[in-house]
Amino acid sequence: MANYVTFFPVGNGDMTLFSTEDKINFMIDCNIRKESEDDESEWYDCNKYLHDNLELDGKQVYLDAFFLTHSDHDHCRGIDEYFNLCAPDDCDVNKIRINELCVPARLLVDDELANDDAKALRTEAERRLDLYGQDDFNVDGNRLKIIGYSKDLTDYSDITTVAGETICELNGKSDLGCEIFVLRPVKKDTDEKDAGVNECTASFYISFAMGDNVYSVMIMGDIECENWKEVISLNEEKEYDILLAPHHCSWHAISTEDKSTGSIDATIEEYLERSKEKAYIVASSKKIKRDTDNPPSYRAMNAYKKHVKYDSRFISTADELYNDEPIPVKLKITVQGVSKESVKTDVKRHSIYTPKSYGEY
């Protein structure tokens, strides 16, 4: 039996699918562009992949859960276009149903959401929140979890998971095949008016017990250097087997110094080195070039490469190709460890869904 972690090629953005040996599928973030439907598009058809690989409830494709790290558009783009953000009875079978929606507390208390997809997610989260305490709340398509504390949401403590706690149940199921430990946000950030959305990003440590071993994945959204150091200080024992390089391989995730002349933070460098012998590091970004872009940062890529055993264990989603077409990076977790799985698909064959109108990209 195996578990899979699939990182989609979505440019500077995040979209990661977890598929456990217990047939639980949950996704962290979304960045699907409308133009990916076009045969001539450079973008991978993530929607088709999901329709081809997720489980069915009758004719309805569904995710057991969707997690949002934060409300930046490159983490929620396409969520309203390709997923059902509505009551279960109103679901469109050409869209994907989210059985349980897991959102950071900041999404529900932030009055200045910057894009329509984030606003649609909040509207849907509020719809589900209104069902809390009713029987319908436990129906597929109505469940909700809040990630992180807010003083404005204390009435919902039963469905809130704060930093330092573990999510052991999704979509009403406790046999997940993994544990999801919440790393962030910490209590002081969510309600801090001057805290930026990246400081309040939800971050996760997902662990798979396989035989006598445990294999772990770190997904930290757009966390910044000082926040990552705080995570390390609170979770010194947590090494990783798979790391999604924060903020699309940004220099500012690993250093507070100048992106052209500065050095990687010593605390983060020491932490990366501890997992060197076993780790894969994935950059979900556009192609990493030797230029001044940030993200992705060429210097950050080289810093990460120092802390993997082989250069091939640093993987950029922009470099994963089959027949010159982009494909996902798929990592397989078994009792033998972590390995890279081949993904060969007809990337331009469209799904049965009906294209809808979509807003700005």
Q: Which residue(s) pair with 311 in the sheet? A: none
- Look at residues 254, 314, 312 and name the one whose alpha carbon lies nearest to residue 281: 314
Rounded Cα distance, 104 and 10, in Å: 22
User: One-letter amino acid identity for 261?
Assistant: T
- In eight-state DSSP terms, residue 290 is S
- In eight-state DSSP terms, residue 241 is S
Q: Which two tokens stand for residue 120?
A: 């649609």
- Look at residues 342, 320, 218, 193 and name the one whose alpha carbon lies nearest to residue 275: 218
Q: At what angle do helices 266-274 and 225-234 cross, to 10 degrees?
A: 50
H runs (alpha helix) in 181-223: 187-190
Question: Is 113 in contact with 119 (CB distance < 8 Å)?
Answer: yes
- For residue 341, how far is the Cα from the chain centroid? 19
H runs (alpha helix) in the chain: 46-53, 79-82, 105-109, 116-129, 187-190, 225-234, 246-249, 266-274, 298-305
pLDDT at 37: 80
What is the per-residue burial (b if ≥16 Cβ within 10 Å, else e) of 300-321?
bbebbeebbeeeebbbbbbebe
Q: Which two tokens stand for residue 280?
A: 């894969």
pLDDT at 347: 44
**Parallel, antiparallel or unpaired: strands 16-19 and 3-7:** antiparallel
Q: Per-residue confidence of the chain (361 residues) as pLDDT tens digits?
A: 799 999 999 999 999 999 999 899 999 999 999 888 887 788 999 999 999 999 999 999 999 999 999 999 999 999 999 999 999 999 999 999 999 999 999 999 988 888 999 999 999 999 999 999 999 999 999 999 999 999 999 999 999 999 999 998 999 999 999 999 999 998 888 888 777 888 889 999 999 999 999 999 999 999 999 999 999 999 989 999 999 999 999 999 999 999 999 999 999 999 999 999 999 999 999 999 999 999 999 999 999 999 999 999 999 999 999 988 999 999 999 999 999 998 765 444 333 333 333 333 2
Rounded Cα distance, 200 and 188, in Å: 9
pLDDT at 355: 36
CB-neighbour burial class of residue 349 (10 A; exposed 0-12, middle 13-18, buried 19+): exposed
pLDDT at 345: 57
pLDDT at 343: 78
3-state SS class at 109: helix
| Domains of the chain listed by start with CATH number | 3-341 (3.60.15)
Distances (CA, A) of 322 to 19, 34, 344: 22, 22, 7
Q: Which residue(s) pair with 204 in the sheet? A: 182, 219
User: One-letter amino acid identity for 251?
Assistant: W
3-state SS class at 312: helix
